[in-house]
Amino acid sequence: MRITAIRVFQVDLPLVERAYAWSEGKKVEVFDSTVVRVETDAGLVGHGECCPLGPVYLPAYAAGVRAGLAEIAPQLIGLDPTELDVVNRRMDYLLKGHPYVKSAVDIACWDITGQAAGMPVCQLLGGRFGEDVVLYRAISQLPPAEMAGNVARHKRDGYTRFQLKVGGRPDEDIERIRQARAVLGPSDVLVADANTGWLMHDAVRVVNAVRDLDVYIEQPCARYDDCLTIRRRTSLPFVLDENIDSIDAVLRAASDGACDVVNLKIAKFGGLTRARQVRDLCVSLGLAMTIEDTWGGDIVTAAIAHLAHSTPEPFRFTATDFNSYVTTTIADGAPRRENGRMRAAEAPGLGVKPRDEVLGEPVLIA
Ligand code: MG
CA of 255 to the centre of ligand 1 (A): 21
By the 8 A CB rule, do 172 and 353 touch? no
Q: For the segment 65-108, what is each residue's pLDDT rounded down to a tens digit?
A: 999 999 999 999 999 999 999 999 999 999 999 999 999 999 99
CA of 117 to the centre of ligand 1 (A): 34
CA of 109 to the centre of ligand 1 (A): 27
Name the residue among 129, 142, 134 with its Cα closest to residue 162: 134
* DSSP secondary structure of 2-34: -EEEEEEEEEEEEBTTS-EE-GGG-EESEEEEE
Name the residue among 20, 24, 21 with its Cα closest to residue 168: 24
Residue 182: predicted pLDDT: 98
Given 26, 102, 155, 165, the catalytic residue: 165
Assign domain 123-351 one CATH number from 3.30.70.1400, 3.40.50.2300, 3.20.10.10, 3.20.20.120.
3.20.20.120
Cross-strand pairs, 255 = none
The alpha carbon of residue 191 and the mean position of all alpha carbons in its chain are separated, in whole angstroms, by: 16
Specify whether 268 is catalytic. no
Strand (E) or helix (H) holding 136: strand 136-139
CA of 257 to the centre of ligand 1 (A): 18
Q: How far is Cα 246 from Cα 365, in angstroms, rounded to an integer?
A: 30
Q: By three-state DSSP, how is residue 245 classified?
A: coil
Which class is 3-118+354-365 in CATH? alpha beta
CA of 108 to the centre of ligand 1 (A): 25
Tell me the H-state helices in the chain: 62-72, 84-94, 99-117, 121-124, 144-156, 170-182, 200-209, 224-233, 247-256, 266-269, 272-285, 298-309, 356-359
CATH 3.30.390.10 positions along the chain are 3-118+354-365
Where the chain has pLDDT below 50, the residues are none
CA of 128 to the centre of ligand 1 (A): 26
CA of 366 to the centre of ligand 1 (A): 34
| Phi–psi pair at 22, nearest 5 degrees | -135, -150
CA quadruple 191, 55, 353, 110: dihedral positive or negative? negative
By the 8 A CB rule, do 188 and 163 touch? no
Count of beta carbons in the 10 Å neighbourhood of residue 234: 17
By the 8 A CB rule, do 346 and 122 touch? no
CA of 2 to the centre of ligand 1 (A): 38
CA of 165 to the centre of ligand 1 (A): 9
Q: For the segment 182-235, what is each residue's pLDDT rounded down to a tens digit?
A: 999 999 999 999 999 999 999 999 999 999 999 999 999 999 999 999 999 999
Tell me the H-state helices in 125-182: 144-156, 170-182
Cross-strand pairs, 334 = none
Q: By three-state DSSP, how is residue 199 classified?
A: coil
Name the residue among 259, 261, 302, 293 with its Cα closest to residue 275: 293
Strands 288-292 and 261-265, sheet pairing: parallel
Side-chain-side CA neighbours of 343 within 13 Å: the count stands at 11
CA of 193 to the centre of ligand 1 (A): 6
Residues sharing a CB contact under 8 Å with residue 342, sequence separation 6 or more, in sequence order: 132, 133, 135, 301, 305, 319, 321, 335, 336
CA of 194 to the centre of ligand 1 (A): 8
Given 102, 155, 265, 268, the catalytic residue: 265
By the 8 A CB rule, do 307 and 276 touch? yes
Specify whether 265 is catalytic. yes
Let me know if 91 is exposed, middle or buried by CB neighbors in 10 A (0-12, 13-18, 19+).
buried
CATH 3.20.20.120 positions along the chain are 123-351
Q: What residues have their beta carbon closer than 5 A to ion ligand 1? A: 193, 241
